Amino acid sequence: MPAPAATPAPASASAPTWTVGDITVHRIDEIALPRETGPWLLPDATPELVTGQDWLHPHFADPDGTLRLASHTFAFTVGGLRVLVDTGIGNGKQRANPAWHDLDTDYEQRLAAAGFPADAVDLVILTHLHADHVGWNTRSVDGRWVPTFPGARYLTSRTEREFWAGYPMEDARRQMFEDSVLPVEQAGLLDLLDVPAEGLAVAPGLRLLPTPGHTPGHVAVELTSRGRTALITGDCVHHPVQLAHPAVGACVDIDPERSRVTRHDLLASLADTGTLLLGTHFAPPTAGRVRIHGDAYRLEPVPAA
């Protein structure tokens, strides 16, 4: 695990946004992840491999081949519903990873400033149940972990939840479930969805797509409006270097081979279509369009408004 503490996201008057037809997608920043994250998370993304892709500079990698990664979530309104995709690491959570441990960020204030106060969020989509995607599911109130978004339905795939229900958890993962997943379940707010191969519409213009491998029930999130489309990756793609080298996987992939196949098929389906790719861990500018590049792909950045 990366040892140094992460860097809080810089203060900003407004959240970066992208427009997808009539939908405005807001990036809600939490932290920039430390330099050590890349070699730990994507060990096959060596400095030589990274520096061999000029297009990764200056946004997504440093000149020495160090990957840039971040933790943020996405919020938007669709069909009259205020929606949040993933909930980051969270504040005050006891985590084995020092970069995630006992954070104290202004994430919740950023979310409210973007027009999504916690009590107004209608849907929380969890792409999967890892610690850096469920942390703001809950917050501490009088020493108890309670749902941060009490008026929302929290959605994840049934395959995902049932997999972890039968998984022999180590102490750190059990702690995460106890403080960030079980309180939502116990409050009756978690809905488990059966997501077929063709995807599942959960609201007009909002569809969940199965992207298994990183975890068995992982989903990506597709937005469609007025002929425009965007896709939020979750962790089926961690970093743009994986566009150039889809075989590069994460050390925490549950099924590395399936993850590779999922990534290859997803990128092939997106290439040169104009779909906006929004990376859950992509450093700013975070978004771009997938272009064919040699025998693989590259990301053409689309800066936020």
Q: What is the pLDDT of residues 56-107, one digit of tens each?
A: 999 999 999 999 999 999 999 999 999 999 999 999 999 999 999 999 999 9
Q: What pTM did the predictor assign? A: 0.95
**260 burial class (0-12, 13-18, 19+ CB within 10 angstroms)?**
middle
* Gap between the Cα atoms of 88 and 139, Å rounded: 12
Instruction: Give the torsion sign (CA, 68, 24, 276, 130).
Output: positive
Per-residue pLDDT tens for 94-112? 999 999 999 999 999 999 9
Please, where are the H alpha helices in 77-202?
A: 107-113, 131-134, 158-165, 171-180, 182-186
The pLDDT-based confidence of 3 (bands split at 50, 70, 90) is very low
Altogether, the residues listed in the chain come to a count of 305
CA 196 → CA 128, 159, 209, distances in Å?
A: 16, 11, 8
Helix, strand, coil distribution of the chain in percent, nearest 5: 25, 30, 45
